[in-house]
Amino acid sequence: MKSVKGEAAYVRQRTLKSAIHCNGIGLHTGTKVSMTLHPGDPDTGIVFRRTDISGSDTTIPATWRNVVDDRLCTSLGNDDGVCIGSIEHLMAALSGCDIDNAVVEVNGPEVPVMDGSAAPFVFLIECAGVVEQERPRRALEILKRVTVGNHQRRASLAPGKNFSISFEIEFESPVIARQECTIIFANGTFKSDICRARTFGFEHEVTKLRETGFARGGSLDNAIVVSGDNILNQGGLRYDNEFVRHKVLDCIGDLYLCGGPILGHFHGYRSGHSVTHRLLKALFADDQAWRYTPLKDDLQASENRQAASVQAPA
């Protein structure tokens, strides 16, 4: 977007330059699945489409209003009962890469888990390329603090000049114990500090999870597995505090269901998908707590001010 010298330009929306494809398995269903990311039109957001179903509407907009299940992962559904599960890692990658509009075609009930992190999706997006679109990008600006939960699990959103997350987790497992992480998202911090963090689970819970329809595709190739005092993965951890970083990753994906980037600070204490979705519902239920605002390019504004200063007569 063009701007007058000294004034901020609006950040443009972004989409993929070309389509790109991948194959994998669903973490919870264990089924083989193919996925293709396509460019999206301006102002259409992220849209999922099931290609293995006919005779009904298979389009599912990625919005918090369409969350139908948040047990261990985030699943979306439409009015025809068509669902798509485990969308949070891909949504985190789209958020971290500033992709506003895309169509995600999947030929199964679940987004492929890949290696259990968002890194493979970031790689796909980078391979496809990114283009700007002739529409201003809008951000969700937090105007006042909103909190949900209790002393055991809670989450909040508060005003802030940029997007930041602080997260605390606490497990009885000595391998995880208590971990904290605070990230301000700017200058590629998602890719460098968060996107490679993998999902995790406990060996003693695997049988029960599979009996209830979860983790049927889980393995050491796509999750960190904790057994007692040990991590079973041969390569160990990618970050010293990979567990809490993955919780941040999940949170980023779930928050992107608000429809754009956030200007504000999220704090989570032992929270997960369910608490984050409750927080978004509470936020949007209060018209005084938020507003959408065009996202301004402060860097461009700074460069404009510097150029004006140089060109000004003595």
Active site residues: 273
**Beta carbons within 10 angstroms of residue 243's beta carbon:** 23
- DSSP for 263-300, please give it: EEEEEEES--HHHHHHHHHHHHH-TTSEEEEEPEEHHH
End-to-end Cα distance, the chain: 30
Angle at 47 between CA 35 and CA 124, to 5 degrees: 40
Pairing of strands 12-16, 130-136: antiparallel
Task: Please answer whether residues 91 and 46 qualify as being in contact, where contact means their C-beta atoms are separated by less than 8 angstroms.
Answer: yes
The span from the CA of 197 to the CA of 219, in Å, is: 15
Enter the tokens of residue 246. 């993955």
Residue where the block lists tokens 């699990």: 153
Rg (CA), the chain: 20
Residues 6+ apart with CB under 8 A from 105: 35, 36, 38, 48, 49, 50, 51
List the one residue out of 158, 167, 162 whose CA is nearest residue 282. 158
| Residue 191 DSSP code | I
- Would residue 255 be called left, alpha or beta, if left means φ above 0 and alpha means ψ between -120 and 50 degrees? alpha
The span from the CA of 82 to the CA of 269, in Å, is: 32
